[in-house]
Amino acid sequence: MTAMATLAETTGTAGPRYTKVAIWLHWLISLAVIANIGLAMLTEGLPRETQRTAMDVHKALGITVLALTVIRIAWRLGHRPPPLPATIRTWQRFLGKVTHFLFYALLILLPLSGWVWMSAAGRPIDFFGLFAIPVIVAPNEGLADVMHDRHEVLGLTMLALAAIHILAAVKHQFVDRTGLIGRMNPF
């Protein structure tokens, strides 16, 4: 039995773990994204005031995701992720890199598209009642309509990518038994 296999069996991980900062940023961003997708999808059809309150939280959470993602990217530039186990196939490594790149792109583009949309609609974002996020473009109804559509497409893309990511993690953990989930376990 290899040292990596022994480590995976005894600790539930596939070798070295991500740093604690990377782990906590991962989970904070993940929970915020899941909450935001839920807020966007589950408030449709609710009374106008309830929907407005939920969307105010959605917008502030989106700005939070953007800020945390910038921090995570900066952290990642200075801290390389742990290597994958040798048992991970080349095509899976490639898909993992593509998936992570797409996540980072979406984690920037999705909140930015919402911010541009709200700015173009002439509605500054209230950041949890603490302060207003300034608009970044002049009001423009045509741009607001385009950004609304793009924001929805990016949101659905994020939902699909998150589902694929979760399914891949479950497969690696319970089918392949690589212990990869333990590398990102905050506890």
Domains defined for the chain, CATH in brackets: 3-184 (1.20.950.20)
Per-residue pLDDT, 179: 85
Q: Is 82 left (phi over 0), alpha (psi -120 to 50) or beta?
A: beta
Phi, then psi, of 80 in degrees rounded to 5: -65, 145
SS3 at position 7: helix
**DSSP H or E stretch at residue 127:** strand 125-127
Residues 6+ apart with CB under 8 A from 69: 29, 104, 107, 108, 111
Closest CA to 172 of 31, 12, 25, 7: 12
**Cβ atoms 23, 186 nearer than 8 A:** yes
Per-residue pLDDT tens for 96-149? 999 999 999 999 999 999 999 999 999 999 999 999 999 999 999 999 999 999
Per-residue pLDDT, 126: 97
Closest CA to 154 of 99, 103, 87, 100: 103
- pTM for the full predicted model: 0.88
Per-residue pLDDT, 137: 98
**DSSP H or E stretch at residue 88:** none
Per-residue pLDDT, 7: 38
Q: Which two tokens stand for residue 5?
A: 């296999």
Residue ranges for the chain with pLDDT beneath 50:
1-11
End-to-end distance of the chain based on CA atoms, in angstroms? 27
SS3 at position 130: coil
